[in-house]
Homo-oligomer: A and B are copies of this chain.
Amino acid sequence: MKQVTLKQIAENLGISITTVSKALKNYPDVSKKTKALVKEEAKKLQYKPNVFAVNLRTKQSRTVGLIIPEVVHHFFSSVINGIIEQAEKKGYLVIILQSNESYKLEKRQIDLLISKRVDGIMISLASTTVDISHLQEVQSLDIPLVMFDKISKLIPCSKIIIDDRKAAYEATKHLIDSGCKRIAHFRGALLPQNSIDRFLGYKKALEDHGLTYDPSLIYICENVNYEEGREAADKLLKEHDDVDGIFTITDLVAVGAIAVFNERGVKVPEDISIMGFSNWFVSQAITPSLSTIDQPGYEMGKRTFKQLYKEMKAKKEGKPFPPKIKTLDTFVIKRNSTK
C-alpha cells in the first residue's frame, strides 16, 4: 500500500521521471504517444501528486488563511460561506482561525499563518487591535493581504467594506422619517472603527434633521451582545422616559432591548421604535420583527476572496497589485419595530 510516485510510473514504463512529469503536465516536448501511455498508467495506479513536494518546489501552498473575530456569529459565518465557496472554485483551501476579539491571539495567528506559508491572508480585525505591526510584517513579506469589514486605515492593502457611517445615517434617518424626535443610540466600544463610524452617522443624521445630539442618550455596549442590549434598555428606561427611538450598533443588542421592552409592557414601535444593524436571521423571527440594515456578509466574503485571488495571481506573474477599496451597498430593511 505504498504511495504512488512519478518514479513508480517511470519504472513501469521504462522511461524517465522527467518525461512522466512533463507528460502529465502536457509539455509540448513529449510525443502524443507517450503522453497517452503515461496518463493511462497514472490513472491505473491512481497516481496523486505529493503536494508536499509540489509545495516545496513551487513555493506555494494553494492555501489561504482567514482570521475573524468570532465564528459563531451570523454575519461572519456568512462571510466564511462566501469565502470558502469562491476559494474552492479556484482550487484553494481555507484555514480558518478566530481571534476572539483578542489582539494577542490575532497576532499569534498571523504568525501561524505566515509560518504555514499560506499564499494569502484575509482578516477582519479584533476590536482591541490598535498595534498593527503584525499586519505590517505580512506586507513586508509580500504576502497578499485583504481586509474586510473591520479594517485599519493605516495598512495600505485592499479592503472590502460597507460605509458604516452612511448606513448608520440612513438607519437613523429612517427613525426620524417615521416620526421619532428623541433618539438614543446603543453603541459599541469606543475603539473599533465601525463603532465610531456608526456613531458618527447617527450624530450626523440628527444634526441634518434639526434634532439636537444629547450625549446622555448614548449607551455603550462593550461586547455588543444580547445581555448588554438588555442592560442598556433597562438603564434607558430608568433614565429617560421621553425617548421614542433607538438605533443599536447591531441586531443582537436590539433583540435584547426588545426583550426587555416586551417584558415591561413598553410597546414597540408605538412607544419606542428600534433599528438594528446587520440583518441577522433572528431579526425576522422575533416579535415584533426588527427593522435593520442589511449587511451583505456572503457577498463580502465572495469579493474578499476574489480580490485576494487577483493579488495572488498578480504576485505570481511578478506584476504589482495596487490596493483597491470596495464599498458594498447596504439598505434599510423595514419591519415591524419601526413605524
Whether B285 contacts A255 by the Cβ 8 Å rule is yes
How far apart are A92's CB and chain B's nearest CB, in angstroms? 10
Which residue of the partner chain, among B50, B52, B72, B94, contacts A96 with CB atoms under 8 Å? B94
Q: Which of A5-13, A18-26, A53-61, A182-190 contacts B (4 or more CB under 8 A)?
A: A53-61
- State in angstroms the CA–CA spacing of A72 and B95 once bound together: 17
**In the complex, which residues of chain B have a beta carbon less than 8 angstroms from the beta carbon of A61?**
52
Q: How far is the CA of A36 from the CA of B93 in the complex (A)?
A: 39
A contact residues, total (Cβ < 8 Å): 47
Give complex CA distance A71, B98 in Å: 14
Q: CA separation between A130 and B172, bound complex, in Å?
A: 51
Q: How far is the CB of A333 from chain B (nearest CB, A)?
A: 16
Chain B nearest CB from A289 CB (Å) reads 9
A114 at the B interface (CB under 8 A): yes
Distance A281 CA – B73 CA, assembled complex (angstroms): 10
The 7 closest A-B pairs by CB, nearest first: A52-B56, A52-B55, A287-B287, A282-B282, A72-B77, A93-B95, A71-B81
Interface residues of chain A, those whose CB is within 8 Å of chain B, are: 1, 48-53, 55-56, 59, 61, 63, 71-74, 77-78, 80-81, 84-85, 88, 93-98, 109, 112, 114-117, 140, 142, 226, 255, 259, 262, 281-282, 284-287
Q: List 21 A-B contacts (CB under 8 A).
A: A1-B140, A49-B115, A50-B56, A50-B117, A51-B116, A52-B55, A52-B61, A63-B95, A71-B80, A71-B81, A71-B84, A72-B80, A72-B81, A73-B77, A80-B96, A93-B95, A93-B97, A94-B96, A259-B285, A281-B282, A282-B286
Apart from A72-B80, A95-B95: 10 A-B pairs, beta carbons within 8 A: A48-B114, A50-B56, A71-B80, A72-B81, A73-B77, A81-B98, A84-B97, A93-B97, A259-B285, A282-B285
